Chains A and B, each alone.
Chain A
Amino acid sequence: MAKTVDQYFAGLQQTRVWRSIFRSGTGSSTLKRALAIQQNVFLHLFSTKVRTRVLSFSATWYLGTLTLGTFMILVATGIPLMLYYHPSVPQAYADTKDLQFVVSSGMFLRNLHRWSAHAMVFLVFAHMFKVFYRGAYRPPREFNWVIGVVLLLITLLLSYTGYLLPWDQLAYWAITVGSNIASAVPLIGNKIHFLLLGGNAVNANALLRFYVLHCMILPLAAMFFVAIHFWRIRKDGGLYNHDSEPAVVRTKSPTSPESKSPSPITEAR
């Protein structure tokens, strides 16, 4: 009797090597499924158990997950782009043109990077509006809102630093104008401008600094804060679902009988 693919896979899961990597074991019992989440280095940030109704499309529109998706596309397309791009004044513009017209699939990767970047900025704002209008920022989730604002700023800075890298006229003047806005900060504005550009004008130092910020410092910062952002979802009581929130949190009108309770927040949690 020939074995099916499923049987081969089931056999593989019993091997010593598989069991040394995935310790939770197999099976579809509630315990095994919870362990599969809890014992995974990436998934353990999330709750081991989630109600299906908070995973419904209407609850979140999946905006946060879609934002993470665009970020992962940006990492996956950005790293191959780095293999052909030299962040130097004589080469940057020529390399960008090579990526667009000479390198195989270069145009695809570059355009995917560009459109994902636009989509990410849009999705971050959409996510923020959804959270705001649904009131999902309220206690106990207020700190996760702050983390979200930090992530919004990192996203905008990633967009801004990536803008300079093609080293064309659009990039040059956009960064000239943008860095001059930084000079408007009271007292230390000119210092910020000087440190950001590594000089007095947009030049070789500025290109290199923006490259390092764009490819190293800001992505690492984003990953750090994204990890905290996800972990806080579990710590703050799971994904927000308007319908499953206790009535005391949902209704804040002074006429409603629930609002007479001394501390609606503690009662809710």
Chain B
Amino acid sequence: MAEEKKGPLGDDLSRRQFFTKLGLGSLSIAAIGTAAFSYQYLEPNVLYEPSPVVNAGKPDRYPLDSVTLDVNNGIYIIHSQEGYFSLSAVCTHLGCLTAWKQELGIIACPCHGSKFEQSGKKIEGPAPKPLPWKRLWLNDDGDLLVDRSTDVPALARDSFVRV
């Protein structure tokens, strides 16, 4: 019986086993690297999406006690007795665009029937959360601006804009 060869590292590995392990190890590292690079590639670094900040125009466009839906930007501008505020019009259930029902005085989602109050509070339906309030402020030109990426507390004093 031939004596088992000692590997270059002095352990029980033969030369062939050593190179096999080295090869498989390198391939494993390369595979992990490929997976990492693939993931990074699939995740866009720059998005050409519309800005979250929307110019909603002059406050006098919105009469007192009115709810105005901005279809393109998915927000409501509401002029209530307490002042102006902005509400997301995107249903918290699965992202459909809700609609203001003037005759019922509620916000309703056409997809799965969620219903909300004018303040965004959930009345019923599959929606798990109320419609969030969005930051609203007046810029130096006197235009109402909405930041759709920033939520503000519902019905809080600071969440209203008074003109």
Question: Interface on A for B, CB 8 Å cutoff?
Answer: 173, 176-177, 179-181, 194-195, 198-201, 203-205
Contacts and interface: CB of A to CB of B under 8 A. Distances in A.
Contact of B111 (A177, A198, A199, A204): A177
Interface string B84-117: 0000000001111100000000000001000000
Most buried by A among B48, B94, B96, B97: B94
Contacts of B42: 195, 198
Interface of B is mostly: loop
6 contacts: A173-B111, A176-B95, A176-B96, A177-B94, A200-B47, A201-B49
A199 B49 contact: yes
B44 A198 contact: yes
Contacts, number: 30
B60 interface: no
Interface of B: 42-44, 47-49, 93-97, 111
Contacts of A194: 43
A180 B95 contact: yes
Given A173-B111, A195-B42, A200-B47, 7 more contacts: A176-B96, A177-B111, A179-B95, A180-B94, A194-B43, A199-B49, A205-B44
Contacts of A205: 44, 47
A77 B111 CA distance: 32
B44 A181 contact: no
Contacts of B95: 176-177, 179-180
B52 to A, nearest CB: 10
A177 B127 CA distance: 13
B49 to A, nearest CB: 6
A88 to B, nearest CB: 13
